[in-house]
């Protein structure tokens, strides 16, 4: 079977590799579509954690269950259409019994296994990490597996800080893969949304996704303050930073009202360095900073339900073949793709 393999840093090759066989509680999935995530760029460039080459790529997929390993029949049947990945981290295994797993945070489990390598014709996966898809979800909705899940989990977190429906939140990176889901999910959950992104094309798209107000990143602080003074918007209770730029975190903090919450989601390249917080302003303004690293399987099921009801739609900016993966990653890195890029595998 064909699979995308990072043989050397910066370059992916399509190789012929053996078709895998499912083991205990594992399933062989025939991959139909895969989503290309920003983190794939960082993996290929090796600008996050260093991963030794060669390694396979991809962590968002929809496919058909083709074969079952022993014990997998308890969870899924042959022929069922499934979504897999769970954002990569813990997408392949979690113990289910530690304090993190029991708190709904398997991504922090010491025994978690990362899911990586769905840019291939077949993939073997742990049956418990699969969500069976209803007919309303199309194969092109595959970016729900990571981008959608991560945005959903980040916005769901707001209620833990008392930020409920009706409050105003800013979504930074609103036109991106995560952002376009974030805007729709926040609207579906009843928030007022300020969509922040760059340039007229992306702002127009953000408006189309349902944002109440859209602002350009370069004028965000000024515009948000002006609109607030004029009584056109309420002050910002939370900034959800979905863009993977350090500047996005700093902007997110600046936009917040007193007592506001910054939810850090987008992972910038390590070379971008850190964002700084002035303790004086931070304490006096009573701010909170939290983070969100993908989501869990129950959140995946909830999101699939929202999408099946038509409340969250996937916007695909580019559809390509597996062989075009290098070009797609380049376009994604240059910010040329509005929404998400997917690859059709079969
Ligand atoms: Zn991802
Ligand atoms: Zn665990």
Annotate 306-339 with DSSP letters as a single string: HHHTTSS---EEEEEEGGGHHHHHHHHHTT--SS
d(CA 18, CA 202): 42
Domains and CATH numbers, the chain: 2-146+295-344 (3.90.180.10), 150-291 (3.40.50.720)
Ligand in closest contact with the CA of 113 = 2
- Please give the distance, rounded to the nearest whole angstrom, from the Cα atom of residue 60 to the centre of ligand 1: 7
- pLDDT band at 318; cut points 50, 70, 90: very high
- Please give the distance, rounded to the nearest whole angstrom, from the Cα atom of residue 109 to the centre of ligand 2: 4
Q: Quick check: 230 pLDDT over 90?
A: no
- Please give the distance, rounded to the nearest whole angstrom, from the Cα atom of residue 57 to the centre of ligand 1: 11
Average pLDDT (105-111) is: 97
- Please give the distance, rounded to the nearest whole angstrom, from the Cα atom of residue 116 to the centre of ligand 2: 19
- Please give the distance, rounded to the nearest whole angstrom, from the Cα atom of residue 219 to the centre of ligand 1: 29
- Please give the distance, rounded to the nearest whole angstrom, from the Cα atom of residue 225 to the centre of ligand 1: 33
Q: Quick check: 143 pLDDT over 80?
A: yes
Higher pLDDT, 339 or 241: 241
Q: Quick check: 108 pLDDT over 80?
A: yes
Ligand in closest contact with the CA of 244 = 1
- Please give the distance, rounded to the nearest whole angstrom, from the Cα atom of residue 208 to the centre of ligand 1: 24
- pLDDT band at 235; cut points 50, 70, 90: very high
- pLDDT band at 232; cut points 50, 70, 90: confident
Ligand in closest contact with the CA of 102 = 2
Q: Quick check: 333 pLDDT over 90?
A: no
Average pLDDT (227-246) is: 92
- Please give the distance, rounded to the nearest whole angstrom, from the Cα atom of residue 282 to the centre of ligand 1: 30
d(CA 33, CA 139): 6
Please write the tens of the pLDDT for every residue from 14-61: 999 999 999 999 999 999 999 999 889 989 988 887 888 999 999 999
pLDDT of residue 337: 83
Q: Quick check: 206 pLDDT over 90?
A: yes
Least confident window among 31-35, 105-109, 196-200, 226-230: 226-230
Ligand in closest contact with the CA of 242 = 1
pLDDT of residue 49: 77
- Please give the distance, rounded to the nearest whole angstrom, from the Cα atom of residue 96 to the centre of ligand 2: 5
Average pLDDT (284-312) is: 97
- Please give the distance, rounded to the nearest whole angstrom, from the Cα atom of residue 286 to the centre of ligand 1: 32
Sequence-distant contacts of 213-216: CB under 8 A, at least 24 apart: 214/174
Strands 81-84 and 131-132: antiparallel
Ligand in closest contact with the CA of 294 = 1
d(CA 28, CA 16): 17
pLDDT of residue 338: 77
d(CA 233, CA 314): 27
Ligand in closest contact with the CA of 98 = 2
Distances, alpha carbon 232 to alpha carbons 65, 193, 212, 261, in Å = 51, 13, 11, 21
pLDDT of residue 88: 93
pLDDT of residue 346: 85
pLDDT of residue 268: 87
- Please give the distance, rounded to the nearest whole angstrom, from the Cα atom of residue 106 to the centre of ligand 2: 6
Average pLDDT (62-66) is: 98
Distances, alpha carbon 249 to alpha carbons 101, 102, 188, 325, in Å = 28, 30, 24, 29
Q: Give yes or no for a contact between 35 and 342, defined as CB atoms under 8 angstroms apart.
A: yes
Average pLDDT (288-312) is: 97
Q: Quick check: 269 pLDDT over 90?
A: no
Ligand in closest contact with the CA of 181 = 1
Q: What is the DSSP string of 198-230?
A: SSHHHHHHHHHTT-SEEEEGGGHHHHHHHHHHT
- Please give the distance, rounded to the nearest whole angstrom, from the Cα atom of residue 276 to the centre of ligand 2: 32
- Please give the distance, rounded to the nearest whole angstrom, from the Cα atom of residue 93 to the centre of ligand 2: 9
Ligand in closest contact with the CA of 106 = 2
- Please give the distance, rounded to the nearest whole angstrom, from the Cα atom of residue 114 to the centre of ligand 2: 13
pLDDT of residue 339: 73
Please write the tens of the pLDDT for every residue from 168-189: 999 999 998 899 999 999 999 9
Helix (H) or strand (E) holding 149: helix 147-156
- Please give the distance, rounded to the nearest whole angstrom, from the Cα atom of residue 58 to the centre of ligand 1: 8
- Please give the distance, rounded to the nearest whole angstrom, from the Cα atom of residue 136 to the centre of ligand 2: 32
- Please give the distance, rounded to the nearest whole angstrom, from the Cα atom of residue 56 to the centre of ligand 2: 25
- Please give the distance, rounded to the nearest whole angstrom, from the Cα atom of residue 267 to the centre of ligand 1: 10
Residue 117 — φ and ψ, nearest 5°?
Answer: 120, 25
pLDDT of residue 280: 94
């Amino acid at each position: 079977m064909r699979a995308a393999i990072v043989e050397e840093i910066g370059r992916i090759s399509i190789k012929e590799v053996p078709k895998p066989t499912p083991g205990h509680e594992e399933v062989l999935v025939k991959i139909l579509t895969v989503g290309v995530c920003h983190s794939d760029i960082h993996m290929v460039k090796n600008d996050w954690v260093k991963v030794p080459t060669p390694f396979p790529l991809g962590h968002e997929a929809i496919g058909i269950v083709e074969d079952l390993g022993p014990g997998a029949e308890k969870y899924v049947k042959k022929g069922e259409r499934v979504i897999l990945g769970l954002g990569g981290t813990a997408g392949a295994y979690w113990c289910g019994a530690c304090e993190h797993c029991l708190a709904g945070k398997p991504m922090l489990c010491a025994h978690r296994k990362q899911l990586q390598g769905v840019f291939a014709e077949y993939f073997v996966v742990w049956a418990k990490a699969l969500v069976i898809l209803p007919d309303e979800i199309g194969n092109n909705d595959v970016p729900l597996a990571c981008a959608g899940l991560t945005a959903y989990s980040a916005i769901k977190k707001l209620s833990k800080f008392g930020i409920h429906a009706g409050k105003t939140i800013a979504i930074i990176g609103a036109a991106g893969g995560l952002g376009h889901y974030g805007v729709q999910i926040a609207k579906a959950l009843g928030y007022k949304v300020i969509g922040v992104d760059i340039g007229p094309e992306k702002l127009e798209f953000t408006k189309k996704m349902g944002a109440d107000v859209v602002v350009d990143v370069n004028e965000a602080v000024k515009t948000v303050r002006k609109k607030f003074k004029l009584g056109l918007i309420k002050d910002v209770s939370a900034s959800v930073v979905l863009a993977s730029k350090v500047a996005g975190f700093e902007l997110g903090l600046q936009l917040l009202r007193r007592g506001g919450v910054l939810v850090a989601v987008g992972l910038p390249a390590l070379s971008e360095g850190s964002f700084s917080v002035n303790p004086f302003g931070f304490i006096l303004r009573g701010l909170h900073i939290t983070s969100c690293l993908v989501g869990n399987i129950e959140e995946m099921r909830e999101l699939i339900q929202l999408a099946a009801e038509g409340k969250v739609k996937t916007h695909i900016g580019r559809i390509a073949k597996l062989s075009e993966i290098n070009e797609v990653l380049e376009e994604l890195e240059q910010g040329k793709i509005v929404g998400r890029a997917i690859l059709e595998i079969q």
